[in-house]
A and B are shown apart, each in its own frame.
Chain A
Amino acid sequence: MNWKAIKHSAIGTSHAKFGKDCQDAAYFEIHPYGLIAAVSDGAGSATHSDLGSRIATQVACGHLKKWLCFKTPKLDVPSVEMARDLFEAVLEEIEIELTVKADSLGVPVRELSCTLIACVATSRWICAMQVGDGLFVYRSEKEIEYSLMFKPVKGEYINETDFVTSKNAIDSLQVQSFEWDPGFICMATDGIEKVSVRMSDWSPHAPFFKPFDDYIQPGGTTAGESNFLEEFLNSERLNAKTDDDKTMLIAAPRSYETIENFPI
């Protein structure tokens, strides 16, 4: 099974106003056996969280890719314990890389604080993780409903969350691993939360996600590849609702156009 994925990050109007960079990052790789994707939101008050989020997403995907390469058999769903071990290892590697970077900049590692949402999705199963807030919404192939993989971590207050650099990152880490027929994935940072999810019960608002779902499915509009997403994230309509950075990564499975045999 192949995958089609598109990502875009747009700077928030408040960040642009104060001359700050976009602190969000997203990264994905399409591997012969599945999709590896990650999205990260740098902490607003951290001076280098734009670097932090970039490092976190790239390190996460690198680690997950290596793991997937060596996993046998590929099509067996990892147990939740195995997935937890995997994602804890991802967090440890990120911590090391962030610390190295922080040292080279002469700043404490908390200046690279960021959240992280990541996954490995194959034709038979998906395993996913989340530290902090942001959204991971998915739809199974034959379903029409959208589901939320994890409840975003908010402290008591709406402007609080956990970060990969937090002391309690491992405790706060949420993990899922289950069999599924993939239909659609959307990973987003919290700038998108309030327009896409009903915050009283965290239920995804289908009319928000459906256009992106339609767009990325085979037969969806292919003119202007990533423009739909990019235009939306920079739209006045969206910026009227949120002045935060906004990132979305959307993906859907594709069957291979030519049949190839991959050793499993």
Chain B
Amino acid sequence: MPVGLPEFVENPENRCPVVLVLDTSGSMSGAPIEALTKGVRTFREALLKDEQASLRVEIAIVTFGPVKLAQDFVTIDHFTPPELKADGTTPMGEALTYALELVEQRKQTYRSNGLQYYRPWVFLITDGAPDSTSPWRQAASVIQNADATKKIIFFGVGVEGADMNVLRQITPTERPPMLLNGLDFGALFSWLSASMIRVSGSQVGAAQVELPPIGWGTVSV
């Protein structure tokens, strides 16, 4: 008796969410914001080359200030990098709080749609210091707690001129902030896309995903 072929069930892809929290304040105008915009494009192109990642990685972009959702979560294959304009102040605390809420809502959406997901990444890039009125300390403690309880994985990157002292208080202790080499956003985003590719393909028990070496920045001590 001939035996038929096993039929596969079509499951939606697991999601790998990443939120970019980008400083688009006045000080970023000119070369920095151009390089940043190009970097985001690099990110998209690199991910599109990996079939699995392009279906799994979901990107959201929060810019500040003012705090704006420049891109709501979308899979890479449907992502068009937004035009970034530098103009405004630096409400860093509000932006970070907003980003964390965005992540939690996305997880709820995944759960109610029966989608599986990887630990979300939150990636802050800033060239300055938060406005004096910005509740960044509050945001920092929420971030550290969320990272420690593995709700997110948080990275902070300072561009030249950034207040690394503040950043050091925001990022988790075991993951100090990085200082970008000049305006080498290209290298940063190549690294980020390579990391996302590894994470989105990672299997069970790979809670320690080996990330590519960081060649785009230095750890501030």
Q: How far is the CB of A179 from chain B (nearest CB, A)?
A: 29
Is A159 a contact of B206 with CB atoms below 8 Å? yes
Question: B203 to chain A: which residues have CB within 8 Å?
Answer: 12, 14, 44, 159, 190, 244
Most A CB within 10 A of own CB, among B7, B8, B203, B206 = B203
* Distance in angstroms between the alpha carbons of A87 and B150 in the assembled complex: 31
**Docked CA distance A163–B204 (Å):** 10
Q: Given contacts A157-B118, A201-B114, are A44 and B205 in contact (CB under 8 A)?
A: yes
> Measured between alpha carbons, how far is A37 from B157 in the docked complex, in Å?
51
Residues of A within 8 A of B114 (CB): 199-201
Contact B3 A43, beta carbon cutoff 8 Å: no
Q: Judging by beta carbons under 8 Å apart, are B205 and A221 in contact?
A: no
Instruction: Bin the interface of chain B by size.
Output: 20 to 34
A155 to B61, CA, bound (A): 27
Q: How many residue pairs between the two chains, A and B, have CB atoms under 8 Å in the bound complex?
A: 102
Which of B1, B11, B118 lies in contact with A159, CB distance below 8 A?
A: B118
B23 → chain A closest CB, angstroms = 29
CA A200 – CA B9 in complex, angstroms?
11
B31 at the interface (CB under 8 A from A): no
A211 within 8 A of partner (CB): yes
Check: A154 CB closer than 8 A to any chain B CB: yes
Contact A232 B1 (CB under 8 A): no
Whether a CB of chain A sits under 8 angstroms from the CB of B119 is yes
Nearest-CB residue, chain B, relative to A41: B204
Residues of A within 8 A of B115 (CB): 200
In whole angstroms, what is the CA distance A156 to B201 when docked?
Answer: 17
Asked whether B133 is an interface residue with its Cβ less than 8 Å from the other chain, the reply is: no
Instruction: Determine whether A71 belongs to the interface, using a CB cutoff of 8 Å to chain B.
Output: no
- Chain B, residues 168-185, CB within 8 Å of chain A (1/0): the string is 000000000000000000
In the complex the two chains form, is B205's CB within 8 Å of A45's CB?
Answer: yes
- From residue 1 to 47 of chain B, which have CB atoms closer than 8 A to chain A? 1-9, 11-12, 14
Question: Chain A interface mostly helix, strand, loop or mixed?
Answer: loop
**What's the Cα separation between A237 and B201 when bound, in Å?**
18
List the A side residues contacting B202 at CB < 8 Å.
44, 159
Q: Distance in Å from the Cβ of B68 to the closest Cβ of chain A?
A: 29
Residues of B within 8 A of A197 (CB): 9
Smallest CB separation, A244 vs chain B (Å): 5
Given A158-B118, A198-B11, check contact A211 B6 (CB 8 Å). yes
| 8 Å CB interface, A150-202 against B | 154, 156-161, 163, 190, 194-201
Closest CB-CB distance, A23 to chain B, in whole Å?
9
Shortest CB–CB separation between residue B208 and chain A, in angstroms?
A: 6
Q: Contact: A214 with B1, CB < 8 Å? A: yes
Which chain A residue lies CB-closest to B206? A44
A14-57 residues with Cβ-Cβ distance < 8 A to B are 14, 41-46, 49
Chain B 109-127, CB-CB to A under 8 Å as 1, else 0, gives 0000111111100000000
Q: Known: A194-B11, A199-B11. Is A159-B6 also a contact (CB below 8 A)?
A: no
B207 within 8 Å of A by Cβ? yes
Select which of A156, A198, A228 is within 8 A of B3 by beta carbon.
Answer: A228
* Chain B, Cβ-Cβ closest to A208: B6
Chain B residues lying within 8 Å of A208, measured Cβ to Cβ, are: 6-9
Give A198 to B2 CA distance when docked, in angstroms: 26
Interface centre among A14, A45, A200, by most chain B C-beta atoms within 10 angstroms, is A45
- B4 contacts A210, C-beta separation under 8 Å: yes
Q: Mark A229-251, 1 if CB is under 8 A from B, else 0.
A: 00010000100010110000000
> A219's closest neighbor in chain B, by CB?
B1
On chain B, the residues within 8 Å of A125 by CB distance are none
Judging by beta carbons under 8 Å apart, are A195 and B207 in contact?
no
A201 proximity list for chain B (CB < 8 A): 114
Given A205-B9, A208-B9, A215-B3, check contact A158 B117 (CB 8 Å): yes
Complex Cα gap A178–B136 (Å): 56
Q: List 21 A-B contacts (CB under 8 A).
A: A44-B204, A44-B205, A45-B206, A45-B207, A45-B208, A158-B14, A159-B206, A161-B205, A190-B204, A195-B8, A197-B9, A198-B11, A199-B11, A200-B114, A201-B114, A207-B7, A209-B6, A211-B5, A220-B1, A241-B8, A244-B203
Give me 18 other A-B pairs in contact (C-beta within 8 A), A43-B204, A160-B207 excluded.
A14-B201, A154-B116, A158-B204, A161-B205, A190-B203, A195-B8, A196-B8, A197-B9, A199-B12, A199-B114, A207-B7, A208-B6, A208-B7, A209-B6, A210-B4, A214-B3, A220-B3, A244-B203
